[in-house]
Amino acid sequence: MKAYGYFTSKKYFKRVLFSIMLTMALILTGLSAANTYLLERSVKHVQEDANLKVLTQTQYNLSYMNEIIVHLSTFAFRDNALIPLMFSNNLPKMDYIRGYQQMYNMLESSSFLHSMAVYNASTRELYGSSSDFLVDGGTTKSSILDWLLHSSDGSLPASRLIPFSFQHSNQIDAFAFIVTDAYGPFTPSQSAIILFIKPDWVFDSLSKLNGLSSGSSGEILIRTSGGQLFDSGHSGQTLPLDQASIGKLIQAPNEGTGASNDSGFVIGNSGGQKVMVTYLHGIGDWTILYIQPYKEIMKAVSDMRTRNFALTGAFILLSIGISVWLSYKLYGPIEAMLKRILPHMRNAAPDSGKRNELDAMGDLYEQLSGQLQEISSEQIVRKYYIRKFLTDNRSLSELDMRQLIRKHELQLAPSGPYMVCTLRFDRYDEYDRRTSSGMKKLHSFAVMNIAKEVLSRAFRCEMVDMQEDHFTILLSGKEELLDPAAVKPAIFDVQQILERYYNLSLTCGIGETVTQLTQLSASYYQSYQLSQYSILMGYKAIIETQDIRTNLENKQKSLPGDVEKKLSEAIKKGKLTEAGSELERAFALLAALQLEDMRRAIADMAWIIKNAAAEITSNRITQLSVDIERIPLLPQDYYTLDELHLAFLSLCTAICEEAKPSSMERNEMIIETVKELIWQKYSDYNLSQQSIASTVKLSSAYVGKLFKDSCGMTITEYLNDVRLRRAQELLLKEDGTITEIMEKVGYGNQSYFFRLFKSKFGTTPKEFRIKKSIS
């Protein structure tokens, strides 16, 4: 009863449940019906194809058999032993015997012949090969004669298979084939030979082929042009057959089209039973029919339909269970919401007989929304006046401010005392970059509500968000309660809650207690300045005036000049230990400065390090890996003195390590520089060891000794070698005079040039050019 009551009381839940349940049931039922329909169509097409293949094979057999019978009948009609039987008025006994003997031979040689008969038109006598002619008292003979002479059509087609029944029933005993000497239909005035063909090769082979192909039982019939049906007589079937209905079924597909199909496949009723009829036009004017009970053919489909619907029913039951479970899961959040607002819904008293729970919740939402708008408007006004108290109270007198507190029911004591606290985000620039605007709004709401709830336990409290990076708390109460020592524990609890649940870090500045409302603006500015001293006190600090009194009383505006100078010299010389000592001394002095002076001194220190690095780079061939232009921006990336100290120390370490390369690396760079200068300026007459040493800013003796020790020759020798090799190249490539070439490579004295060239290559420049031109 409890479950039933729970179900009936929740109209929206019922709607969800019934929607899901009905959808699943319709899908499953539709799928089952579609599968059954497709299966039935597939079985019909398969059965039709199988039946037509069998009947097509039978048609081929009939055509082939007809050709054989035509040849046999022609042979029989011209047989000398049978001619006397057809045309003699007085038949001699020997001719009679020879005729019977020939008919017997033909029957023995042809397995498909049932019997033969010879009709003599002159005597109207019939001679038959069957034993029935002799022993049944003339019954067979009279039956055949009656058929020949008294046909319903007045004539019988010649040279064509005709279904024939000895008992004049619908059972086919044989196919008659009449042969005459004329091309037209048979008449009693014409003598003829009648061949009776066994029907088994048609019906039995058709049944066997059909059994192999489809496995379905049926009945083989032959339908004449007059609509008469014949069967084999031993099919074992008891199908209720109606000739008129069968004829309509066969003719229906062609009505209105004017076409006549050789084969077809129809489904209809015959004798009160649904049947499947496959038909194929055979030889002449008769049609082969294969009739099957539709129920037998579709037995597998019916069984499948039964199983399918049973399975569908089971799945529908399962879907009902899943629907209930799924509906309950979908309804879960709504139910949880209902439990929370149920008392309000009762007060709203919705019409449960006509409306569901969501409609009632909508009505309640509209009521609460209106109330919330009223509250929101009032909150905006209250925040406006609180901000005005804190930032621009010169336009308001003490009396005006007290009246506003009473009018807008601000949680402040009109007579004081007051204390202003500022909660400021740590690392705000980083927080601003990684936090979306929606999340910022959520955090702002959380900070204000949590802080107000915690502080309101002990103080009268108002709170407002000022700029983006901080919030201001305005406390009032008895003077002994507004001691910073009493406020700090509550502020600490707020900081811990915000960090635990929102991962927010805030520093708090606590201004001094004031007694007048007009002093709130100064107290706010003081608390905000104190909150910025997190650069000194660290993150999540709670700072009051006495914590930074030393800084506030310090009159020094910057770092001593010797600190900056020693730091710069230590960096230039690559002395990391000295640089680290000077940094430590500098940050110890920074910690005692006032906030603005501290920030200015940090910026100056960054520029000192930047200039030292730039000077090192200007004296080096390779650049420092440190981004020099980024150094002045370093203070913007760190928010406390400890972080800045580590950052500057890491920077100085990187610069000092690169400022003192190994002696081997330094010597190699000097030598490579000397060689590069020689190759660039070898054509200069004034190029010498002294000028090269002056260019690299080293002494001539030091450069000469370094080059000699490294390359095994003096700078002058290397210079002459470069000049002479270049002269040798020009002598081969250019047609200028030797004097012109000498001047191009930096020689002004011809005899000196000739002497050096011959000493180097063993020949004079002129001889060298002649020898090379000859060769």
User: How much is the pLDDT for 507?
Assistant: 96
Query: Is 439 domain-assigned?
Result: yes
Chain segment 736-746, per-residue pLDDT in tens? 888 888 888 88
How many Cβ atoms sit within 10 Å of the Cβ of residue 248?
Answer: 15
Q: Read off the pLDDT of each residue in 279-296 and give the average, rounded to a whole number.
A: 74
User: How much is the pLDDT for 488?
Assistant: 92
Query: Is 646 domain-assigned?
Result: yes
Chain segment 155-171, per-residue pLDDT in tens? 678 877 787 777 666 67
**Between residues 655 and 603, the one the model is more confident about:** 603
594 and 550 Cβ atoms separated by less than 8 Å:
no
Please check whether residues 618 and 700 belong to one and the same domain.
Answer: no
Please check whether residues 110 and 160 belong to one and the same domain.
Answer: yes
Please check whether residues 629 and 682 belong to one and the same domain.
Answer: no
Give the tokens for residue 621. 């061939």
Angle between helix 576-590 and helix 595-618 axes, rounded to 10 deg? 160
Total number of domains constituting the chain:
4
The answer to pTM > 0.75 is no
Task: Decide if pLDDT at 504 tops 60.
Answer: yes
Task: Decide if pLDDT at 362 tops 80.
Answer: no
Task: Answer with the one of 511, 533, 549 that is the final residue of a domain.
Answer: 511
Please check whether residues 627 and 670 belong to one and the same domain.
Answer: no
539/701 Cα distance (integer angstroms): 59
Query: Is 485 domain-assigned?
Result: yes
Query: Confidence band (pLDDT; 50, 70, 90) for 254?
Result: low
User: How much is the pLDDT for 592?
Assistant: 93
Q: Give 602-642 as a 3 state SS string.
A: HHHHHHHHHHHHHHHHHCCCCCCCCCHHHHHHHHHHCCCHH
Please check whether residues 610 and 699 belong to one and the same domain.
Answer: no
Task: Decide if pLDDT at 237 tops 60.
Answer: no
Please check whether residues 576 and 631 belong to one and the same domain.
Answer: yes
Please check whether residues 504 and 578 belong to one and the same domain.
Answer: no
Give the tokens for residue 315. 């799945």
Provide the greatest CA pair distance for the chain. Answer: 169
Chain segment 325-351, per-residue pLDDT in tens? 777 777 777 777 777 766 665 554 444
Please check whether residues 578 and 691 belong to one and the same domain.
Answer: no
User: How much is the pLDDT for 349?
Assistant: 46
739 and 750 Cβ atoms separated by less than 8 Å:
yes
DSSP 477-526: S-TTTT-HHHHHHHHHHHHHHHHHHH---EEEEEPPPBSSGGGHHHHHHH
Q: What angle do CA 616, 622, 623 make, to 5 degrees?
A: 60
User: What is the dihedral sign for C-alpha 498, 500, 503, 509?
Assistant: positive
Task: Decide if pLDDT at 374 tops 60.
Answer: no
Query: Confidence band (pLDDT; 50, 70, 90) for 2?
Result: very low
Q: What angle do CA 52, 53, 54 make, to 5 degrees?
A: 90
Query: Is 257 domain-assigned?
Result: no
Chain segment 60-71, per-residue pLDDT in tens? 777 777 788 888
Please check whether residues 88 and 191 belong to one and the same domain.
Answer: yes
Query: Is 55 domain-assigned?
Result: no
Chain segment 98-113, per-residue pLDDT in tens? 888 888 888 888 877 8
User: How much is the pLDDT for 350?
Assistant: 45
183/72 Cα distance (integer angstroms): 17
Selection from 671, 663, 664 nearest residue 706 by Cα: 671
Query: Confidence band (pLDDT; 50, 70, 90) for 396?
Result: confident
Rounded to the nearest 5°, which phi and psi values hold at 765? -60, -40
Please check whether residues 577 and 679 belong to one and the same domain.
Answer: no
Rounded to the nearest 5°, which phi and psi values hold at 124? 55, 40
Q: What percent of the chain has pLDDT above 90? A: 18
Task: Decide if pLDDT at 299 tops 90.
Answer: no
CATH code, domain with 757: 1.10.10.60
Task: Answer with the one of 201, 233, 250 that is the final residue of a domain.
Answer: 201
Q: Read off the pLDDT of each residue in 341-370 and give the average, rounded to a whole number.
A: 60
Please check whether residues 387 and 483 belong to one and the same domain.
Answer: yes
Task: Decide if pLDDT at 430 tops 70.
Answer: yes
493 and 434 Cβ atoms separated by less than 8 Å:
no
Please check whether residues 377 and 485 belong to one and the same domain.
Answer: yes
DSSP state of 253: G
756/59 Cα distance (integer angstroms): 120
Task: Answer with the one of 201, 225, 256 that is the final residue of a domain.
Answer: 201
Q: Read off the pLDDT of each residue in 128-151 and give the average, rounded to a whole number.
A: 76
pLDDT, mean over the chain: 80
**Between residues 195 and 212, the one the model is more confident about:** 195
Rounded to the nearest 5°, which phi and psi values hold at 120? -105, 110
Residue type, 743: E
**Between residues 652 and 252, the one the model is more confident about:** 652
Considering 51-65, 79-93, 150-164, the range whose residues carry the highest mean pLDDT is: 79-93
Task: Decide if pLDDT at 213 tops 50.
Answer: no
Tell how far CA 465 is from the center of its chain. Answer: 44
User: How much is the pLDDT for 577?
Assistant: 86
Chain segment 434-489, per-residue pLDDT in tens? 999 889 989 999 999 999 999 988 888 999 988 778 999 999 877 667 888 889 99
User: How much is the pLDDT for 256?
Assistant: 45
Of 254-268, 466-480, 542-556, the least confident: 254-268
Query: Is 498 domain-assigned?
Result: yes
Query: Is 2 domain-assigned?
Result: no
Give the end-to-end CA distance of the chain in Å, rounded to a whole number. 124
Owning domain of residue 716:
664-774
Query: Is 408 domain-assigned?
Result: yes
User: How much is the pLDDT for 332?
Assistant: 73
Considering 4-8, 224-228, 593-597, the range whose residues carry the highest mean pLDDT is: 593-597
Query: Confidence band (pLDDT; 50, 70, 90) for 360?
Result: low
Give the tokens for residue 349. 């008293």
207 and 290 Cβ atoms separated by less than 8 Å:
no
576 and 563 Cβ atoms separated by less than 8 Å:
no
DSSP 538-587: -TT-EEEGGGGHHHHH----S--HHHHHHHHHHHHTT-HHHHHHHHHHHH
In three-state secondary structure terms, 185 is coil
Q: Read off the pLDDT of each residue in 298-320 and give the average, rounded to a whole number.
A: 77
User: What is the dihedral sign for C-alpha 759, 761, 767, 769?
Assistant: negative
120/89 Cα distance (integer angstroms): 8
How many Cβ atoms sit within 10 Å of the Cβ of residue 770?
Answer: 12
Chain segment 625-676, per-residue pLDDT in tens? 788 888 999 898 899 999 999 999 999 888 887 765 544 456 777 888 888 8
